[in-house]
Structure 1
Amino acid sequence: MPSPQTHTRPTVMAVWLIIAGVVGWWAAFWLLMERLHLLADPNAIASCDFSPLVQCTANLESWQGRVFGFPNPILGLAGWVAPIVVGFAILAGARFARWFWWLFELGVTLAFVFVIWLISQSIFVLGTLCPWCMVTWVVTIPTFYVVTLHVLRAGLLPAPAGLRKGAETLMGWVPLLAVVSYAVIAVVAQLRLDVLGRVF
């Protein structure tokens, strides 16, 4: 029998963390495979290159694709393990200390900020939409919302009662928040890159 959904054992969030972690890890894995393939054969065409607009190569070979001196997907391979482990630990009954949630929230926030920056670089500088990168965007954004709202509603971060109550209410609206975020990105991409005109 599954554990009840509570602030101390948020099973729904735990399941999402596992799903998001697996999907994000899978996207990072395939991006890294594509990068290694291109390194082995500079003339190769990545399997995720569908057009000048929808492709991975431009992103992988740019400096934005190796901000810290190594391919960004390596960050994903390491980073997405954390949500998977945390999700399974919650389902197993683990209780984390406040400092752990602070660190987890910090990691998720940094990942979110990094993804927003990569989105801006992809749309406004590189002029491309990388398929596997977009998969990463899709799971990172709601993961940030879920974890942030959880630490606020559970009082794991200092916050007034009103903010905690608001976070509790918003937790049920995370899917809508994510869809709205995707819509904003889509509109910005359309205005900047004329996606519909170039695809159709």
Structure 2
Amino acid sequence: MPNAACDTHLVSQTLPETAERPRHLALAILLIVGGALGLLASFSLTQDDFTLLAHPDAQLGCTISASLQCGQNILSWQGRVFGFPNPLLGLMMFPAPVIVGVALLGRVRFPNWFWLLFNLGHWFAIGFIAWLSTESIYNIGTLCPWCALVYAVVIPMWLAVTLHNMATGRYGRAFISVGSGLISWVPLLSLALYVVIALEAQLRLDLISQLFH
């Protein structure tokens, strides 16, 4: 009987961990892919920034039309809010999700304070890109392709990490059901936010007509 009780205890500990593995795997892949694409965009924007410093009249590869380009964003004050080019922030911050994703694949367990601190970085990122996208569309009058890639990866990573923390009780018991219920909806929620940004850009900049001229 003691052995049976011990086996039951081991099963009760193993089942939740087994049930969590698909969720952790999906989160790990999202963080690795999202972080890598964010690094690509940040590196490309940094290269373009150096190109414009050396040749202010250079034609950048990201220039598709007058309203679909990176040059205006790079040269604007919004492009260097902290006194240096914004892409340098990406080069510093996007390695973090890649490292965390790889660690999750290796079944590394992080303490609660780490997850909350990691999530805080995503809250900063989503707030920053919300402001930047608004400034870009309504004040600068452009949609930067590489910036749009950053928006595209930050949104699902922010949603996934935030809802994961809610589902695991790191925001308190009151949010567990919310996180558990919404975490499988991350792709659809991300798509909805993509549509909002795309509609804003189209209504303000009429990008579609420019693409066909």
> TM-score normalised to the size of structure 2?
0.88
**Which runs of 4 or more aligned residues in structure 1 lie more than 4 Å from their structure 2 counterparts after TM superposition?**
none
Q: Which residue of 1 aligns with 2:99?
A: 85
Aligned pair partner of 1:108 in 89, 102, 122? 122
Distance (Å, rounded) in 2 between the aligned partners of 1:69 and 1:126:
18
Q: Which residue of 1 aligns with 2:193?
A: 181
Letter in 1 for 2:179: A
Contact 1:108 1:143 in 2 (8 A): yes
Alignment of 1:29 onto 2:43 = yes
Q: Which residue of 1 aligns with 2:58?
A: 44
Contact 1:123 1:129 in 2 (8 A): yes
Q: Which residue of 2 aligns with 1:196?
A: 208
Contact 1:149 1:170 in 2 (8 A): yes
Letter in 1 for 2:140: L
Contact 1:8 1:95 in 2 (8 A): no
Superposed, which structure 2 residues align to 1:52-131 within 5 Å?
A: 52-131=66-145
Alignment of 1:164 onto 2:176 = yes
Cα distance, 1:8 vs structure 2: 11
Count, aligned residues: 196
More deviation, 105-114/185-194: 185-194
Structure of greater Rg: 2
Contact 1:25 1:80 in 2 (8 A): yes
Contact 1:9 1:91 in 2 (8 A): no
Letter in 2 for 1:196: I
Letter in 2 for 1:18: I
Distance (Å, rounded) in 2 between the aligned partners of 1:170 and 1:145:
9
Aligned-residue Cα RMSD (Å) equals 1.6
Contact 1:18 1:88 in 2 (8 A): yes
Contact 1:9 1:90 in 2 (8 A): no
Q: CA 1:164/1:105 → structure 2, altered by over 3 Å: closer, same or farther?
A: same
Cα distance, 1:199 vs structure 2: 2.6
Cα distance, 1:9 vs structure 2: 7.3
Q: Which runs of 5+ in 2 are unaligned?
A: 1-16
> TM-score normalised to the size of structure 1?
0.93
Q: Which runs of 5+ in 1 are unaligned?
A: none
Q: CA 1:53/1:9 → structure 2, altered by over 3 Å: closer, same or farther?
A: closer
3-state SS of 1:167 partner: helix
Q: Which residue of 1 aligns with 2:162?
A: 148
> When you count helix as a share of all residues, which structure comes out higher?
2
Identity of aligned residues (%): 44
Cα distance, 1:164 vs structure 2: 1.2
Cα distance, 1:171 vs structure 2: 0.9
3-state SS of 2:58 partner: coil
Q: CA 1:9/1:142 → structure 2, altered by over 3 Å: closer, same or farther?
A: closer
Cα distance, 1:4 vs structure 2: 4.7
